[in-house]
Amino acid sequence: MAESITVTTPGLTSIQDLGRLRGSRFGQMTGGASDQYSADVANALVGSHRTAPLLEIVALDFGAVVSVDLLVAVTGAPAEVQVGGVTRPQWEPFVWTAGEELTVRGIHDGLRVYLAVHGSIAAPSLLGSCAPDSVLGFGRQLTVGESVAIDVDGPPIDHPYFRVPLFRLGAEPASFTGHWTIDVTDGPDVHEFGATAARLYDTPFVIGDNTNHIGLRLTPADPGSDVPRRDRSTEVLSRGVPIGAVEVPAGNEILVLHRGRGVTAGYPVLAVVTATALSRLGQARPGQEVRFRKVSVPEAVDGYRSQRRSIALLRSRVANAFASLRIPTHTDTTSTQHHSVPQMESA
């Protein structure tokens, strides 16, 4: 019989992965987990491939029961995580016991929590990714009573009496202070803003309510402050835009395009959020204050490489720990999808 996770409290939860890297050439948004770092670490902690599907829980409480003992990891924003009423740690793997309810409550400081499983979560795929696309109507939020098929290829290891943590793998938690400093590099149109470009770094911004995975709208924390202004009167033609583009439309707000952005846009791009800062921005809540910090491209690349090295070291520790306990790990996507549902498309 297929094993499954049955949702008792759905909140705002979807099945995600790291998105479709090949989508832009087809005019398809990239999508994927808004906090790529937390999602990547969650899968690393359970020995699953970094692109394996996992649950993204946004802001609201979540609950579910599982049909088989399952090794899981919960990362992302701070929250109260319990299994059968017993508190479990974030940023370390633990056992979700069959028949007991796992709950995630009180998400705070950040916005998104990620739950990864050892094995695989079955999900339809579009262009090689299960990432939802609200424009196409692909993927969806989980509903109460819904069962999600999982594939488990080995029993988890747990202490039969004390349920003490079996692993201390030293994953580096993301920082959640409620204050967000977001690193950006110069955008392709920075020279068109003259001295007003400095306002991006001198002005604290507040995230607006009309914000989602497509992009964030920010206004100056002081309504009397101005955003950067373009000093050209020529029209900006629609063109390809990167994830993280900081656009300046008319009015007194700026836009930051996130992973659900369309692939073209027509506003001037003052700056581009770095890859590591995009994960931080994916955790910022409406109403919270953001400050931007300018970094060079080499600094941005170094920061990304440092983060990748940190995750690689974590995966090495996980592989060693799991090997000593004879827990299999999944190092490629085929091993995590061997019982997945049929692909909608495999381009």
Domains defined along the chain, listed by start? 4-172 (no CATH), 180-295 (2.40.100.10)
Q: What is the 3-state secondary structure (H, E, C) of the chain?
A: CCEEEEEEECCCEEEECCCCCCCHHHCCCCCCCCCHHHHHHHHHHCCCCCCCCEEEEECCCEEEEECCCEEEEEEECCCEEEECCEECCCCCEEEECCCCEEEEECCCCCCEEEEEECCEECCCCECCECCCECCCCECCECCCCCEEEEECCCCCCCCCCCCCCCCCCCCCCCCCCCCEEEEEEECCCHHHCHHHHHHHHHCCEEECCCCCCCEEEEEECCCCCCCCCCCCCCCCCCEECCCCEEECCCCCCEEEECCCCCCEECCCEEEEECHHHHHHHCCCCCCCEEEEEECCHHHHHHHHHHHHHHHHHHHHHHHHHHHHCCCCCCCCHHHHCCCCCCCCCCC
State the pTM of this model. Answer: 0.91
* Local confidence pLDDT in tens for the 347 residues of the chain: 589 999 999 999 999 999 998 878 888 889 999 999 999 999 999 999 999 999 999 999 999 999 999 999 999 999 999 999 999 999 999 999 999 999 999 999 999 999 999 988 999 999 999 999 888 889 889 999 999 999 887 666 665 555 555 678 888 899 888 789 999 999 999 999 999 999 999 999 999 998 888 999 999 999 999 999 998 888 888 889 999 999 999 899 999 999 999 888 889 999 999 999 999 999 999 999 999 999 999 999 999 999 999 999 999 999 998 888 788 888 765 444 433 333 333 32
